[in-house]
Amino acid sequence: MVRRSGRGAAPDSVVRVVARMLPAPSVMVAAALIVKGYAEVGDGFAAGVIVALAVSLTYVAVGADGAEAVLPVLRHAPKIAVTGLLLALASGFFPLVYGEEPVSHQPAPGEPLTKFGKLELFTQLLMDIGVFLLVVGVLVMLLHQFGRLRGEEKS
């Protein structure tokens, strides 16, 4: 992935095209995973890794600098990660405010849920979105750290 220029073998153009196109649908898949999470397999973590994998394909295809030029939003990865963590922690510990155990979700067990299509609205969703954001942020940071070291080693 980082040897873009190292051996002179540029990645296949198909890979490049796919890498360009993949991140957007991956976010869709991730959203679907979160929405369906409580009924089927998958949750915020899996969704986050899927997006991160799509990003990593971009890294492989066009190299670290290229990927970060194509997807400038990646620059915000640390902020995204911290936001996600805060969101998850807040949704986890908020119940303490009104005297319940941490990580008790609203509506309480047994109570009816508001549905929005297939999406079931309750506080667990917030936690899952937090986990999703955190995982995306953390993994993109990892890619960034391991992907763009060359040249820095000497300094």
Residues that bind another protein (CB under 8 A): 1-3, 6, 37-43, 45-46, 49-50, 52-53, 56, 60, 75, 77-78, 81-82, 84-85, 88-89, 92-93, 102-103, 105, 107, 109-110, 113, 120, 122, 124, 127-128, 130-131, 134-135, 138-139, 141-147, 149-150, 152-153
CB of 114 to another protein, least distance (A): 11
Our CB check for another protein shows the closer of 31 and 103 to be 103
Taking alpha carbons only, the member of 99, 16, 124 closest to residue 62 is 16
Fill in the DSSP letter of residue 95.
G
Which has the closest alpha carbon to 150: 65, 61, 24, 59? Answer: 65
Contact status, residue 30 vs residue 43, Cβ threshold 8 Å: no
Output DSSP code: residue 66. H
What are the residues facing 116 on neighbouring strands? 119
For the CB of residue 145, give the shortest distance to another protein in the complex, in Å: 5
Beta carbon of residue 36, minimum distance to another protein (angstroms, whole number): 9
**Least Å from the CB of residue 14 to another protein:** 19
Smallest CA-to-CA distance from 29 within 49, 59, 58, 56 is with 49
Quick one: 23 or 130, whose CB is closer to another protein? 130
**Would you say 52 or 62 has its CB closer to another protein?**
52
- CA dist 18 and 58 (Å) reads 8
